[in-house]
Structure 1
């Protein structure tokens, strides 16, 4: 089993990828200085802009994206696993992919994951979001073995709205994930109601750690995000949290031995049983 420090980086990303890369560098470096060997940044680290023309003009493929390059360099410079929670990457047809990247301590790209579930909602405070108008949804669940010293730890990859789909996290846990992730740009309204309870539920029902870095505060494009970047243990306890919505970091010590311990106490992953699809019964 593996014991190490993890860190969540809370940001307030802007429409300017260069500024965002500079903020990411400062906060990731602080996390590395505090001993974190796995560091996660939030969803849309690279750009947050509701101006679609501006947004599309800045899109790059992943080989030329400045935030991806900065994340790769940071991982190598600090010899850490750096999980770029997500950034927008150019996709065919004028669309974008909401893509996560995981870089190893040597700067090598270990994995990518494209957000599967699109946030197409109308909230009762007047907010309306249609991610499917901008992003191409991913099709495959994300899973990666990341190096921690001479060991490896299996990491499940998800992004923001994905956390409302527990079957994704269950599939990752059944595939051996010790840590489940959900970097996010959660709206303030939904965050106040659901952020903590959803993430704690994903940890408890899968007996795994949950690590979720978040955007926080009022952004230059007018949106408000909830913040509260968080690390949760397999028993559902909060180990570390960035209180509030200001940029910053939180660091926690974790030990994957706790995953095995909790899964032995409450073996719900083993106790699963097949069942027939539900149907409406009618009187005869």
Structure 2
């Protein structure tokens, strides 16, 4: 047996593959590192390399502006509402589809995935036309509904994968021992779904918080954080403040994604977890 095989029998990757992997990571994260670096730059007007110095001044400026705080608060409100709706609907859909076989099940599953599989501009246009047909004015409600349409998919995928890993004999044993439907859900189903729900909710929150395209079509006169950042591109003198807010968005979205990964890892072999 070759000495470069690992204990599991898999061949160790060559230095070229490792270099390519690290190169891909640097390519993906270099723009993020630039934003993080210039959030602490003392230069006011624009980007300059190397940075002139290190300062925390722009953080106090950013959090002292009413428009920034209002945009952050609105985005947090929208993300929380969309996440709650997605967790409820996604869990119910997973419970209805994971074990039953019936005519049209695959079509329903496809319809569940479509909002996140389609380009955001298509989803946004469809939602805008639908709201106009119903006579609903764009605002906070329409943004929440728009975000919930693709957040449901995230929760559904996590929950249906966990359902498939949960033995149905546990539910049958609970019912045989005299537990009613609510008790079975509270003491058997919910504890088994808790980490999947938490991971799905975190991912849904992260996606909703920085969603731009669907928000653009459904926001109306509202200005959540992604639209605020987009408008800042026309104000070069506000670049330092924009960098600080962009760094905040990255942190708010990266932390839930990382936690969701830690909670849900190990279930990739389950059908549905990666769809």
Query: Larger radius of gyration, structure 1 or 2?
Result: 2
Relative contact order higher in (CA < 8 Å, ≥ 6 apart): 2
